[in-house]
Amino acid sequence: MRFADLVEVYDRIEATTKRLEMTELLVGLVRATPKEDLARVVYLTQGRIHPDYEGIELGLAEKMVTRVLAHATGLEEARIQRMWKEKGDVGLVAEEAIATRRQKSLESTPLTVAKVYENLDAIARESGEGSQERKIRLLSDLLGHASPREARYIVRMVVGKMRLGVADMTIIDALASTFATKADRDRVERAYNVCSDLGEVARVVAAKGLKGLDEIHLKLFRPIRAMLAERLETLEAILERMDKAALEYKYDGLRVQAHVSPEKIQLFSRHLENITGQFPEIVEGLKTAVRDREAILEGEAVPVDANTGEFLPFQEVSRRRGRKTDVERMAKEFPVTLFAFDCLLRNGEDLTPRAYSDRRKNLESMMKAAEGIRLSKVHVTSDVKEAEAFFDEALQAGCEGLMAKALDSRYEAGARGFQWIKFKKEYSAELNDTIDLVIVGAFAGRGKRAGSYGALLMAAYDEKADVFRTTCKLGTGFDDETLRTLPERLKSRRRDRRPPRVDSKLEADVWFDPEAVLEVRGAELTISPVHTAAWDAIRPGAGLAIRFPRFTGRWRDDKGPEDATTVHELLEMYRGQLKQTKKPVPRSA
């Protein structure tokens, strides 16, 4: 197929504003493409040359491309740079630059789709010493044979900005209407959801038709598109729908799909990027945790505070990119724990058609204890009260809420449905202001904090009862010097037993007379069965806790403990915030 024919369709796609017209243009394109070129055409139209998960990217810097353009056209680099500034799109610059040159020399062999694809592939695969020069040569070669229009699209592909706006689902529509009937569209989509590779789907459907697609199965080291959840507002509604459900803690982190074999482990993100290099501790943990030869697991990766054992907001590890040494340092400082919640493949067998309860049994029997790898916590019930208690427990553990799963549901790749229903905390409110809390206890530090305190137990003042009631463990926001001197600084207030004015369900390693006040910033207030502030006030058997507390660095030496934030104020904040965010007030309030 001539590349010029493809470019002509791209031009028309770019000009249209109607989704339907775009689909028609794509259908025309798919029909006109010879079978052997179809996969290439699909990749190029998506603006890539391989499926995402392979991580083979073109992504040349635009600056470098302008240099190549100068070299390929003989135009001055400064002139190219000026054009780039004016147009802001190197594709358009390429088009104009080649047009200028073309007036001088006219003869050239027409480019084919295969030739363009091969050169781009070669550019993407070049790495190591001297690779830049080789990339430049390959691109120059292509541009040397390109028409101005062709150059526009080649350059856009090379810099990773195709801008055609063709969604994967539109390509699926086009493939379905060419090789099947509309009614069979689902089979095309299913194949894509299982293999995450539209080029592969195109190749198979063109060569073998729909039957061929049904032979696309889950495969190790080729990620499957994630199953997604619907949302419902109450646990009653969820249990009404599912009758009996498996409730799992809903961890607040990053979804990870792990592919495991004795030789190799690969991790993929929710968007199917290969993120293996970012989480060395998960790879290490899985080596021990998975008993079986082969497995595909899903789980949520959550950073854990090494001192308090509590979860940290995911931003703490954000995206671990950059150099290997930096990643390793971060993996030590903020290690993540992977909470495995599903098992999709076991020793070559695709488990996705099996029921949730069966997959869960497989998951439990194939995993053994290992550092940094755990199973998601689960509780099967049809009882609303039990579900509520489990929800409280999840919040207390630092989770966002619960994920309810239908016991008989299969794993539906890429689908969002009521087989999984998420239920997030409704009994929580955002905290905008800092609060002042009193130190009432401490927990011994480990690792880097050995000899000092890993976390402090913090309390709010209950003026009615004249006692201090706990509201969080505080382990974040301390600099090294403060940490080192904490025991010395608090020495005079230290007690062996819990002071009578301290109300706590937690057993601290060290207790303090409630005197020192710290300024703390928290993310939100949440219901907690462990902390005693505002006990029974919002829900029976629960108090109020501060989620993700952080020391601001300010010791409120100007405040006595009775000047600290009161339980009453916390309660007001909680209720005020609930009203503002229009969250439902808990039934038992």
For ligand ATP, the binding residues (CB under 6 A) are 228-229, 248-251, 255, 270, 300, 341, 376, 403, 422
Nearer to ligand ATP, 376 or 504 (CB): 376
Give the pair of three-digit tokens for residue 555. Answer: 């010791």
* Torsion angles phi and psi, residue 479, rounded to 5: -85, 170
Among 532, 540, 488, 492, CA closest to 515:
492
Minimum CB separation of residue 75 from ligand ATP in Å reads 47
3-state secondary structure 107-161: CCCCCEHHHHHHHHHHHHHCCCCCHHHHHHHHHHHHHHHCCHHHHHHHHHHHHCC
* Spatial distance between the Cα atoms of 427 and 435, rounded to a whole number of angstroms: 19
Cβ contacts of 30 within 8 Å, gap of 6 or more: 38, 41, 174, 175, 178, 202
* Torsion angles phi and psi, residue 498, rounded to 5: -60, 125
Minimum CB separation of residue 295 from ligand ATP in Å reads 17
Nearer to ligand ATP, 10 or 249 (CB): 249
Nearer to ligand ATP, 251 or 279 (CB): 251
Minimum CB separation of residue 249 from ligand ATP in Å reads 6
The β-bridge partners of 245 are 381, 406
Nearer to ligand ATP, 341 or 478 (CB): 341
**CB nearest ligand ATP: which residue?**
255
Nearer to ligand ATP, 300 or 462 (CB): 300
Among 508, 491, 503, 587, CA closest to 544:
503
Catalytic residue among 87, 135, 182, 250: 250
Nearer to ligand ATP, 248 or 392 (CB): 248
3-state secondary structure 32-56: HCCHHHHHHHHHHHHCCCCCHHHCC
* Spatial distance between the Cα atoms of 351 and 121, rounded to a whole number of angstroms: 34
3-state secondary structure 244-297: CEEEEEECCCEEEEEEECCCCEEEECCCCCECHHHCHHHHHHHHHHECCCCEEE
Give the pair of three-digit tokens for residue 93. Answer: 């610059």
Give the pair of three-digit tokens for residue 137. Answer: 């040569």
Minimum CB separation of residue 401 from ligand ATP in Å reads 9
Minimum CB separation of residue 228 from ligand ATP in Å reads 4
Contact predicate 565/436, CB 8 Å: yes
Minimum CB separation of residue 427 from ligand ATP in Å reads 17
**Does the annotation count 250 as an active-site position?**
yes
Give the pair of three-digit tokens for residue 96. Answer: 């104009």
Minimum CB separation of residue 292 from ligand ATP in Å reads 21
- Judge residue 161's burial from the number of C-beta atoms within 10 Å of its C-beta, 0-12 exposed, 13-18 middle, 19 or more buried: middle
Minimum CB separation of residue 79 from ligand ATP in Å reads 47
Contact predicate 454/446, CB 8 Å: yes
Nearer to ligand ATP, 250 or 449 (CB): 250
Nearer to ligand ATP, 232 or 570 (CB): 232
Minimum CB separation of residue 273 from ligand ATP in Å reads 14
The β-bridge partners of 341 are none
Nearer to ligand ATP, 377 or 493 (CB): 377
Minimum CB separation of residue 238 from ligand ATP in Å reads 14
* Spatial distance between the Cα atoms of 195 and 443, rounded to a whole number of angstroms: 48
* Total length of the chain: 589
Q: Are strands 494-495 and 453-462 parallel, antiparallel or unpaired?
A: unpaired
Nearer to ligand ATP, 121 or 252 (CB): 252
User: Coil, strand or helix: which one is 119?
Assistant: helix
Contact predicate 248/297, CB 8 Å: no
* Cα–chain center distance at 541: 35
* Torsion angles phi and psi, residue 455, rounded to 5: -155, 150
3-state secondary structure 520-551: EECCEEEEECCCCCCCCCCCCCCEEEEECCEE
Q: What residues are labeled active site? A: 250
